[in-house]
Amino acid sequence: YTTDTKSREENKKTIESLHRLSVDIKKIRRLKEWVLLQDVAYVKEIARILQEMGADETTVANILERCPEAILHTPAEINSQRALWQLVCQNEKQLIKLIEQFPESFFTTEYYENQKANILFFQELGLKNNIITRFLTSAPNIFYNPAEKNKNLIETLQRSYLNLGGSDANMKIWILKLLSQNPFILLNTSTVIQENLEFFQKNDFTDHEVLQLLSKLKGFIFQLTPTTMQKSMLFSQNVFKCSDQELKQLVLKCPALLYYSVPVLEERLEGLLKEGISVAQIRETPMVLELTTQIVQYRIKKLSALGYDIKSGTLESLNGTKKDFEVNYGKIQSKKERPIFNPVAPINIED
């Protein structure tokens, strides 16, 4: 919709229809005024379709405020989209909930044929419907590709997996897991995948080690380039003063050394050194570089309050997800609170 909006007037009929549905028109004017200037809009019709699916008045208003361009689609387009999403939704209740959360994804109808072909392809591949709905909402652009392109990319990944020594029996599980963790792999090209795999071979990673990295990096490896990976590896080698073989082991232990760019690694390293942590400690537990400086500071503060000195101990207690850290923290806390002498314990007297 690239018409010159300056000289156009708002469509009174559209405004009235939206007003009757209790839609906040000021909000639309502020965010997407161009929608209100179009000559043709299907406000009542789109609202009716949403109501048929079980949306109440508030939900309808909420959807149209967040995605006003919905009213520019014909009822036929929206009904087709509704039937398409029902292929992977359990029922209309789930569907309306998804539309309310992700209206832009649902009301993008230009790629209908590609969306349909891709949904059928993903189902054939063995992806569960709940995973496909997650893709539709959080990674909708992968459905805009022709299904053939996505198919070719999956075949490249499957070939690479087998060439690296992966077994036929595990290949399907591996592919489905990789896609579930990172559907954006499909936005790459087969050439990128090939170049990245060759980069590891040139750096003397064995096929088994490359497979290990692919699993650990959850497919993010294909969003990197040989140049950025090379820079990150060189940076780590200079910081940790290690040989090529030692560097390789560090990368296998902590793929973040490959994944993060030099500025990110630099900032995180600096943050750790400021806290009095040594390079030797970081080399021992490189996974600590997966955490942002803010998270590290927060965790050190919590541990220090328990009298735990991070400078002399291991960095293992800082590591892991929020849940992992809370478990470690709890263990250290209970150790500290446990009495040294238990007055009710039986005394062991030797004869």
Give me the DSSP letters along 96-108: HHHHHH-HHHHT-
Looking at the domain assignment, is residue 282 inside a domain? no
Band of residue 351 on the pLDDT scale cut at 50, 70, 90: very low
| Host domain of residue 16 | 9-109
Looking at the domain assignment, is residue 220 inside a domain? no
Question: For residue 342, what pLDDT is reported?
Answer: 52
Q: What is the DSSP letter of 176?
A: H
Band of residue 338 on the pLDDT scale cut at 50, 70, 90: low
Looking at the domain assignment, is residue 38 inside a domain? yes
Band of residue 199 on the pLDDT scale cut at 50, 70, 90: very high
Looking at the domain assignment, is residue 121 inside a domain? no
Question: For residue 52, what pLDDT is reported?
Answer: 94
Q: What is the pLDDT of residues 1-52, one digit of tens each?
A: 444 544 578 899 999 999 999 999 999 999 899 999 999 999 999 999 999 9
Neighbours of 15 (CB within 10 A): 17
Question: For residue 350, what pLDDT is reported?
Answer: 46
Are 258 and 233 a contacting pair, CB within 8 Å?
yes
Question: For residue 337, what pLDDT is reported?
Answer: 67
Are 129 and 94 a contacting pair, CB within 8 Å?
no
Q: Pick 329 or 205 by higher pLDDT.
A: 205
Q: What is the pLDDT of residues 279-337, one digit of tens each?
A: 998 999 899 998 899 998 898 888 888 888 887 777 888 888 888 888 888 888 887 76
147: pLDDT strictly greater than 60? yes
Question: For residue 32, what pLDDT is reported?
Answer: 92
Q: Pick 308 or 249 by higher pLDDT.
A: 249
Count how many domains the chain has: 1
Looking at the domain assignment, is residue 39 inside a domain? yes
By CB neighbour count within 10 A (0-12 exposed, 13-18 middle, 19+ buried), where does 258 fall?
buried
Are 166 and 120 a contacting pair, CB within 8 Å?
no
Looking at the domain assignment, is residue 316 inside a domain? no
Phi, psi (5° rounding) for residue 244?
-60, -40
> If you count DSSP H runs as helices and E runs as strands, how many of each does the chain have, helices first?
20, 0
220: pLDDT strictly greater than 80? no
Looking at the domain assignment, is residue 47 inside a domain? yes
Question: For residue 304, what pLDDT is reported?
Answer: 85
Q: Pick 336 or 149 by higher pLDDT.
A: 149
Closest to 284 (Cα-Cα) out of 317, 315, 327: 315
Looking at the domain assignment, is residue 32 inside a domain? yes
Angle value at C-alpha 319, between 315 and 324, nearest 5 degrees: 135
Which region among 45-49, 140-144, 218-222 has the lowest average model confidence (pLDDT)?
218-222
